[in-house]
Structure formats: C-alpha cells, structure tokens
C-alpha cells in the first residue's frame, strides 16, 4: 500500500511541475518575442533615419503581434510629437531622435497572471 501512495505522489508532482513549467516558459517566450520586436523597431528606425514608411511598417509589425506601439519623436526645434498610430507620423526630415514604447500582455494562465508590460528605449 505504501508503494502505491509513493508512486501516485511522484506522478502527481511530475505532472504538477510539467504544467507549471510550461506556463512559466510560455510567459518567458512572450517577453523574449516582445524584446526582439522592440529591438528590431529601434534598429529599423535608426537605420532608416526615421523615414515615415519604415515607421509605418513598425506600427504594422506591432499590430500583427497584438502589441501597442507608441513613438515619441523629438524634433530639431526642441518640440516633441507622439505617434500612437501610423497616421500620426511626422515628416522625417526634422526628427533628431525617438522614444519607442512597446506595450505587450504577459500572461501565465496557471497562476492567473495577466499583466500589461512596457518596453521603452531610444532610437538616435
């Protein structure tokens, strides 16, 4: 009888750990994917010298992954313009740098975690 209880407890713990680790791993992969997209957007903006077509594609890439992109453009005349969508992008000739914020959802269903996180960085 003791052997049956030990076997049941062992199988239960293995199943519990498998479900828990798969939930944590899926959350981790979500964060890695968002970090990669954020870095890609910054690199593309810097490489294109803030060209408006590239910024438009960045908004489309974020929308495909169900993330929210917000870019604050710093202009040569020391003013700022924030674009929350592709239609609000200013002319690229006056842009000096940009602050890129990417909002994404982090969720681990097993623990009931569902949070919105923000990655922020500058493109110069």
Cα–Cα distance between 11 and 116 in angstroms, integer?
35
Contact of 110 with 19, CB cutoff 8 Å = yes
Show the tokens assigned to 121.
């960085």
Q: What is the mean pLDDT of the chain?
A: 92
> pLDDT above 90 covers what percent of the chain?
73
How many C-beta atoms surround the C-beta of residue 24 within 10 A?
Answer: 14
Confidence of residue 101 (pLDDT cuts 50, 70, 90): very high
Cα–Cα distance between 35 and 43 in angstroms, integer?
12
DSSP string, 34-55: HHHHHHHHHHHHHHTTS-HHHH
Given a cut of 90, whether residue 122 has pLDDT beyond it is yes
* Tens-place pLDDT, residues 52-73: 999 999 999 999 999 999 999 9
Given a cut of 90, whether residue 111 has pLDDT beyond it is no
pLDDT at 70: 96
Given a cut of 80, whether residue 92 has pLDDT beyond it is no
Higher per-residue confidence, 123 vs 92: 123
| E strand map for the chain | 68-75, 80-83, 95-108, 113-123
């Amino acid at each position: 009888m003791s052997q049956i209880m030990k076997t049941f407890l062992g199988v239960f713990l293995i199943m519990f750990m498998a479900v828990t680790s798969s939930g944590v791993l899926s959350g981790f992969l979500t964060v890695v994917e968002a970090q990669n997209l954020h870095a890609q957007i910054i690199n593309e903006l810097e490489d294109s010298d803030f060209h408006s077509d590239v910024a438009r594609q960045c908004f489309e890439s974020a929308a495909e992954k169900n993330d929210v992109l917000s870019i604050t453009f710093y202009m040569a005349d020391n003013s700022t313009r924030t674009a929350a969508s592709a239609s609000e992008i200013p002319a690229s000739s006056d842009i000096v740098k940009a602050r890129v914020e990417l909002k994404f959802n982090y969720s681990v269903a097993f623990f009931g975690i569902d949070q919105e996180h923000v990655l922020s960085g500058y493109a110069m």
